[in-house]
């Protein structure tokens, strides 16, 4: 059958995206900064840099180190806080037609809830919840490494938000599917994975860690096989849409994640190498579908043959 034009649209709950290409939080600023390099309206969605209730100054430098096939970062979630974001950043984002997703973070359940409520009366498409943050009331244990805490955060945010809720999972756990199930039971609209993996780099001349924070989050092509495996596992366990993240830089990468079960993908470290990366992947995916006579991108989702 001849295919003259392929359908790239996908759905996250009731939210329809023009295509499955999103940007990953922390790698695309607040979106508008990239408007000189690409047509932001061609993207499925922009996920902005993580936002907290109060401003955060982040970690001391050096905060980024290149590694083999990837990058370590220990930015420390630096951001201006929700008030400044809404007053200074949101007006710029309203100019674009692509979906805007706000990534939120907190050190307590109350902070996540307050952020969710503040975003109810905005034009954003969805909230992505970063649960790799430490719970200060639980001795600093990351919310995303305990299934009960994953459920509690998801349920609490769900009860206070009128937006689709995407729970972003940490890979630094024993069983990723247990965390995904807890998020789904808590009311998540979708699950995104994976966040960065903990890593380290050492300067052999000074015998000191290359990052001031000593450890940081590893991203880039180095983590792609792990991310792909986790997306595949989670997509088999949950019924809500899965958004794949981790080392995606080529059309082949995008298709692999879709076949593994992802409904959409987020482009991260590739944006730092080429600011046009995400838009080029939209073009590349459309070309791939046409060349292979695939009428809709949804045909690829969970298309892995085993």
The torsion angles phi and psi of 291, rounded to 5 degrees, stand at -65, -30
Model confidence pLDDT, tens digit, residues 65-77: 999 999 999 999 9
Say whether pLDDT at 23 is over 80.
yes
| CA 247/CA 92 separation, integer angstroms | 28
Cβ neighbors of 15 (< 8 A, separation 6 or more) are: 99, 125, 126, 164, 189
pTM of the model: 0.96
Token pair of 292 as six digits:
């292979």
HSE toward the beta carbon, residue 67, CA cutoff 13 A: 25
Token pair of 21 as six digits:
């290409």
Token pair of 284 as six digits:
């590349």
Q: Whole-number mean pLDDT of the chain?
A: 95
SS3 for the chain, per residue? CCCCCCECCEEECCEEECCCEEECCCCCCCCHHHCCCCCHHHCCEEEEEEECCCCECCCCCCCEEEECCEEEECCCCCECCHHHHHHHHHHHHCCCCCEEEEEECCCCHHHHHHHHHHCCCCCCCEEEEECCCEEHHHCCEEHHHCHHHHHHHHHHHHHHCCCCEEEECCCCCCCHHHHHHHHHHCCCCEEEECCCEEEECEECCCCEECCCCCEEEEECHHHHHHHHHHHHHHHHHCCCCEEEECCCCCHHHHHHHHHHCCCEEEECCHHHHCCCHHHHHHHHHHHHHHHCCCCEHHHCCCCCCC
The bridge status of strand 165-168 relative to strand 202-203 is: unpaired
Q: What is the mean pLDDT of residues 117-142?
A: 86
Q: pLDDT at position 141, please?
A: 74
Model confidence pLDDT, tens digit, residues 259-272: 999 999 999 999 99
Q: Of residues 69, 98, 113, 133, which has the active-site annotation?
A: 133
Q: What is the mean pLDDT of residues 62-88?
A: 96
**Residue 176: alpha-carbon gap to chain centroid:** 16
Would you call 69 a catalytic residue per the annotation? no
Token pair of 248 as six digits:
């995606």
Model confidence pLDDT, tens digit, residues 104-128: 999 999 999 999 999 999 999 999 9
Model confidence pLDDT, tens digit, residues 273-299: 999 999 999 999 999 999 999 999 999
Q: pLDDT at position 258, please?
A: 98
Domains, the chain, in order of start with CATH, read 10-58+77-196+220-299 (3.20.20.70)
Say whether pLDDT at 248 is over 80.
yes
Across the strands, what pairs with 208? Answer: 203
Q: How confident is the model at residue 133 (pLDDT cuts 50, 70, 90)?
A: confident
| CA 76/CA 79 separation, integer angstroms | 9
Model confidence pLDDT, tens digit, residues 28-49: 999 999 999 999 999 999 999 9
């Amino acid at each position: 059958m001849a295919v003259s034009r392929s359908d790239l649209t996908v759905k996250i709950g009731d939210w329809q995206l023009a295509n499955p290409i999103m940007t990953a939080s922390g790698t695309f600023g607040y979106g508008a900064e990239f408007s000189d390099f690409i047509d932001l309206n061609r993207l499925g969605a922009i996920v902005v840099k993580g936002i907290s209730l109060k401003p955060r100054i982040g970690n001391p430098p050096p905060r980024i180190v290149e590694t083999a096939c990837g990058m370590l970062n220990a930015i420390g979630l630096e951001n201006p806080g929700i008030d400044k974001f809404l007053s200074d950043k949101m007006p710029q984002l309203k100019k674009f037609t692509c979906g805007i997703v706000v990534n939120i973070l907190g050190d307590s359940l109350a902070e996540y809830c307050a952020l969710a409520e503040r975003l109810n009366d905005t034009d954003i498409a969805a909230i992505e919840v970063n649960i790799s943050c430490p719970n200060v009331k639980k001795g600093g244990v990351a919310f995303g490494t305990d299934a009960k805490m994953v459920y509690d955060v998801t349920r609490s945010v769900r009860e206070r938000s009128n937006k689709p809720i995407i729970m972003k999972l940490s890979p630094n756990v024993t069983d990723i599917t247990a965390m995904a199930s807890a998020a789904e039971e808590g009311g998540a609209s979708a699950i995104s994975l994976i966040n960065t993996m903990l890593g380290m780099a050492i300067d052999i001349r000074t015998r000191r860690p290359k990052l001031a924070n000593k450890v940081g989050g590893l991203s880039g092509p180095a983590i792609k096989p792990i991310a792909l495996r986790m997306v595949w596992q989670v997509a088999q366990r949950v019924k809500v849409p899965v958004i794949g993240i981790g080392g995606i830089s080529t059309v082949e990468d995008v298709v692999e994640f879709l076949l593994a079960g992802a409904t959409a993908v987020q482009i991260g470290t590739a944006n730092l190498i080429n600011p046009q990366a995400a838009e080029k992947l939209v073009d590349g995916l459309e070309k791939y579908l046409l060349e292979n006579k695939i009428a809709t991108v949804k045909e690829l989702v969970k298309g892995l043959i085993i």
